[in-house]
């Protein structure tokens, strides 16, 4: 299927080349030629990837529907009849993702030129960023699950490297470690799901190796056809698709920061801001959503897994939004906002509205990247101050940052002029209208609806706190607008956040399915048969108006409480309910709870293991050593005292005899002569005597 001529593999490969050059020679290049060379390599290659992705996209458009551009490199794994290829494929879903990743990613690379200026690790930063692009594009363009997992792990590694980028600060290193460990827990779930999928797809071991029943691969194109056969299999009494779906979702929850594995993402803000924008907002964290959308043919088989995904997404969306309302660190607000928005995406993919979920992924990539980069711009202007309470009035000196932030806020809060509204509202409507879950659709809808209102509130709160009111002085200067490399990117992203709307103008308005829905429909064909509750246009209009209403309400409250930063109401409210505020401000003590339960438990377990290792395992080894030594000692004794003893005894005896005999050797002539004479006499006597006896 598809054609073989387009070198899709170049798209991930080019950033890898960049990563290699900057990683291997970057230090010297930077010292010799300065930063421009590093950024020229680090920025140009992702752009070339973007152009290639765009060409691939055009090629894809030329293909008949349902086909994909495929670039097959070589056979990677071959065991019996089971085969995994090193192959990349571009279908509408991966095309959309690849374009978003390369475009937003490349923009953020440009932004980084300004942001990372004069950082010692400039080359290292671009090396990691390019490496990340490589891993993410591998994940997105992979043609099979196994290769996707390579990218999946790769982005986790880059995330770790970049969170701990300023590793000299222990907290950053800790945050990186936390992200990595939490991701590993998710990956563990992913792998288990992987194994169960593998098992349930059939095949058995025999003398000849792994023998499959019929055609068998992990290739995305052929998986849907095979998946029906696994629907009947059960493991521990649970249908295999459900188990696989839930375990895959654990992986997705780790990567995409859903309850209960979301805790790493807020801490990940320790990394440089472009990293937060690229990895922890626009691309990597959406990998989980992408994966669930990619495996849509699996999820539609299992209402249980769909319910889990949708419900966890909805709860996360609300939960993170409540925390976001009370944070003061601007990046923390955005981080919880990201967690919350990812929750929305999971509602989308959970209720079977895969295109809506991925559409939100796309729009989110634009407006959240924009928000983060604006925050980065603000942080630079404030000389690395992130506390919003110390900001305010930055709108006047930084108009470009302010207005781009404003546009992104409009988009995320859900006003029907920018992209966020269209994607989020479509998700909420699809959630309300679904009947494919085990629970009625209004439950995730309600959770999402409240979360949407809170989103509007906390985003406008951050806007008003940052950009309105009195302008502070930082180190005696007025904060200044950033360089064009920074602001230009902001403008492009803000425009993107608006333009992305046109991809998803709702069915209700245009009377045709939106462009993105049509575009993605070949990939999500399996979802077409899901049951809906069948609410009419009237309900949809009503919900839409309610969404706008709740967004406006959020804006209104934020306006009332925070505009101009003169109102004292927030503080008084907080003082009235100090306990609630404390609990929410401290993120519901989830980290502490994990610390007390899981982490302490694991530490205890590892200590127990260490004890076991030292005392029992080492004890056995040492015991064996001691016994050997005892045997060796006995053997040595035998050797020394018996074997050597005999030899020595002979020698000693000879020596003793010699010692006695040497006395006769006086060295004095008379003695010898006397001996001679006596000997002669004895001989004579003896001769006589003997001749007498025998004679």
Partner 1 sequence: MSHVGLEHFLVVGAILFTLGIVCVLTRRNAVAVLIGIELILNAAGLNLIAFSRYGGQSLEGSVFVLFIIVLAAAEAAVALALILAIQRRLKTVDVDRTDSLKG
Which DSSP state fits 472? P
* Block residue for tokens 């490349």: 106
Give the residue with the Cβ less far from partner 1, 542 or 673.
673
Nearest approach, Cβ of 657 to partner 1 (angstroms)?
Answer: 13
Give the residue with the Cβ less far from partner 1, 118 or 663.
663
Nearest approach, Cβ of 642 to partner 1 (angstroms)?
Answer: 33
Whether 246 and 253 have beta carbons less than 8 Å apart is answered as: no
Binding residues for partner 1, rule: CB under 8 A, are 661-670, 673-674, 677
Count CA atoms closer than 13 A to 489's CA, side-chain side.
Answer: 31
Whether 186 and 253 have beta carbons less than 8 Å apart is answered as: yes
The neighbouring-strand residues paired with 86 are 74
Nearest approach, Cβ of 689 to partner 1 (angstroms)?
Answer: 22
Q: Work out whether the CA dihedral 388, 389, 395, 399 comes out positive or negative.
A: negative
Count CA atoms closer than 13 A to 402's CA, side-chain side.
Answer: 18
DSSP string for residues in 263-321: THHHHGGGS-HHHHHIIIIISGGGHHHHHHHHTHHHHTT-HHHHHHHHHHHHHHHHHHH
Nearest approach, Cβ of 691 to partner 1 (angstroms)?
Answer: 21
Angle at CA of residue 68, ends 67 and 72, nearest 5°: 130
Nearest approach, Cβ of 675 to partner 1 (angstroms)?
Answer: 11
Give the residue with the Cβ less far from partner 1, 566 or 665.
665
Nearest approach, Cβ of 664 to partner 1 (angstroms)?
Answer: 7
Give the residue with the Cβ less far from partner 1, 529 or 665.
665
Give the residue with the Cβ less far from partner 1, 417 or 676.
676
Helix, strand, coil shares of the chain as percentages rounded to 5?
Answer: 75, 5, 20
Q: CA-CA distance, 451 to 678, in Å (whole number)? A: 131
Q: What is the Rg, in whole angstroms, of the alpha carbon atoms belonging to the chain?
A: 38
Nearest approach, Cβ of 671 to partner 1 (angstroms)?
Answer: 9
E strand intervals along 547-619: none
Cβ within 8 Å of residue 342, ≥6 positions away: 256, 257, 258, 285, 286, 288, 289, 313, 316
Whether 279 and 158 have beta carbons less than 8 Å apart is answered as: yes
Give the residue with the Cβ less far from partner 1, 650 or 677.
677
H or E, element range at 234: strand 234-235
Residues in the chain: 695
Nearest approach, Cβ of 652 to partner 1 (angstroms)?
Answer: 19
Whether 12 and 53 have beta carbons less than 8 Å apart is answered as: no
Nearest approach, Cβ of 679 to partner 1 (angstroms)?
Answer: 13
Give the residue with the Cβ less far from partner 1, 168 or 663.
663
Give the residue with the Cβ less far from partner 1, 621 or 676.
676
Angle at CA of residue 374, ends 368 and 375, nearest 5°: 90
Q: Work out whether the CA dihedral 428, 433, 437, 440 comes out positive or negative.
A: positive
Give the residue with the Cβ less far from partner 1, 440 or 675.
675
- For the chain, give the longest Cα–Cα distance: 157
- List C-alpha distances in Å: 680 to 109, 265, 689, 694: 119, 116, 14, 21
Q: CA-CA distance, 528 to 543, in Å (whole number)? A: 22
Count CA atoms closer than 13 A to 286's CA, side-chain side.
Answer: 36
Give the residue with the Cβ less far from partner 1, 638 or 674.
674
Nearest approach, Cβ of 660 to partner 1 (angstroms)?
Answer: 11
Nearest approach, Cβ of 676 to partner 1 (angstroms)?
Answer: 9
> What is the four-CA torsion angle of 333, 338, 344, 345, rounded to 10 degrees?
170
Give the residue with the Cβ less far from partner 1, 608 or 656.
656
H or E, element range at 522: none
Nearest approach, Cβ of 654 to partner 1 (angstroms)?
Answer: 15
Give the residue with the Cβ less far from partner 1, 669 or 693.
669
Nearest approach, Cβ of 663 to partner 1 (angstroms)?
Answer: 7
Whether 380 and 115 have beta carbons less than 8 Å apart is answered as: yes
Question: For residue 687, how many other CB atoms are within 10 A of its CB?
Answer: 10
Instruction: Sort strands 238-239 and 234-235 into parallel, antiparallel or unpaired.
Output: antiparallel
Give the residue with the Cβ less far from partner 1, 499 or 657.
657
Nearest approach, Cβ of 640 to partner 1 (angstroms)?
Answer: 32
Give the residue with the Cβ less far from partner 1, 208 or 669.
669
């Amino acid at each position: 299927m598809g054609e073989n001529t387009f070198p899709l593999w170049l798209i991930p490969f080019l950033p890898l080349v960049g990563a290699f050059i900057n990683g291997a020679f970057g230090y010297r290049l930077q010292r010799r030629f300065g930063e421009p060379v590093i950024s020229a390599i680090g920025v140009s290659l992702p752009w070339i990837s973007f152009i290639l992705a765009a060409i691939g996209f055009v090629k894809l458009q030329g293909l008949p529907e349902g086909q994909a551009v495929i670039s097959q490199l070589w056979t990677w794994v071959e065991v019996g009849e089971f085969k995994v290829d090193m192959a990349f494929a571009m279908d509408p879903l991966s095309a959309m993702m690849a374009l978003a990743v390369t475009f937003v990613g490349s923009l953020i690379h440009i932004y980084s030129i300004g942001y990372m200026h004069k950082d010692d690790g400039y080359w290292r930063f671009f090396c990691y960023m390019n490496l990340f692009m490589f891993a993410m594009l591998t994940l997105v363009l992979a043609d099979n699950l196994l290769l996707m997992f390579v990218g999946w792990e790769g982005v986790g590694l880059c995330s770790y490297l970049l969170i701990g980028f300023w590793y000299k600060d222990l907290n950053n290193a800790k945050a990186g470690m936390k992200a990595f460990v939490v991701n590993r827990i998710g990956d563990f779930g992913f792998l288990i799901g992987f194994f169960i999928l593998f098992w349930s797809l059939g095949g058995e071991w025999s003398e000849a190796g792994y023998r499959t029943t019929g055609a068998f691969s992990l290739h995305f194109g052929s998986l849907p056809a095979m998946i029906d056969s696994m629907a009947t299999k059960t493991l521990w009494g649970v249908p295999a698709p459900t188990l696989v779906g839930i375990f895959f979702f654990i992986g997705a929850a780790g990567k995409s920061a859903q309850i209960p594995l979301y805790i790493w993402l807020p801490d990940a803000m320790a990394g440089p801001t472009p990293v937060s924008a690229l990895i922890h907002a626009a691309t990597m964290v959406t990998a989980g959503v992408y994966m669930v959308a990619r495996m849509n043919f699996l999820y539609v088989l299992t209402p249980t897994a769909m319910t889990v995904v949708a419900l966890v997404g909805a709860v996360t969306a609300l939960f993170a939004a409540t925390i976001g309302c009370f944070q003061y660190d601007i990046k923390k607000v955005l981080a919880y906002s990201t967690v919350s928005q990812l929750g929305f995406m999971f509602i989308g993919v959970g209720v079977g509205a895969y295109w809506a979920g991925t559409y939100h992924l796309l729009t989110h990539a634009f407006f959240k990247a924009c928000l983060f980069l604006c925050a980065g711009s603000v942080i630079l202007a404030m000389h690395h101050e992130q506390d919003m309470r110390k900001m305010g009035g930055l709108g006047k000196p930084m108009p470009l940052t302010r207005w781009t932030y404003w546009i992104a806020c409009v988009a995320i809060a859900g006003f029907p002029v920018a992209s966020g509204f269209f994607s989020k509202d479509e998700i909420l409507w699809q959630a309300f209208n679904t009947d494919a879950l085990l629970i009625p659709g209004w439950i995730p809808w309600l959770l999402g609806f409240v979360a949407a209102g809170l989103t509007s509130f906390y985003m406008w709160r951050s806007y008003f706190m940052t950009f309105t009111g009195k302008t502070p002085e930082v180190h005696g200067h007025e904060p200044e607008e950033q360089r064009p490399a920074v602001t230009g990117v902001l403008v492009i992203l803000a425009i993107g956040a608006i333009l992305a709307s046109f991809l998803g103008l709702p069915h209700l308005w245009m009377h045709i399915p939106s462009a993105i829905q049509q575009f993605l429909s070949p990939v999500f064909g399996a979802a077409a048969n899901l049951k809906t509750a069948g609410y009419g246009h009237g309900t949809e209009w009503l919900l839409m108006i309610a969404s706008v209403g709740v967004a406006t309400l959020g804006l209104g409250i934020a306006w009332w409480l925070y505009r101009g930063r003169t109102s004292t109401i927030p503080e008084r409210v907080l003082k009235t309910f100090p306990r609630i505020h404390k609990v929410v401000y401290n993120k519901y003590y989830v980290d502490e709870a994990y610390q007390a339960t899981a982490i302490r438990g694991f530490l205890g377990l590892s200590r127990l293991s260490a004890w076991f290792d030292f005392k029992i395992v080492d004890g056995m080894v040492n015991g064996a050593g001691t016994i050997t030594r005892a045997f060796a000692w006995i053997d040595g004794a035998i050797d020394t005292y018996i074997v050597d003893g005999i030899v020595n005894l002979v020698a000693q005896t000879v020596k003793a005899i010699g010692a006695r005999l040497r006395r006769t050797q006086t060295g004095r002539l008379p003695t010898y002569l006397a001996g001679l004479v006596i000997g002669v006499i004895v001989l004579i006597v003896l001769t006589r005597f003997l001749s007498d006896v025998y004679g």
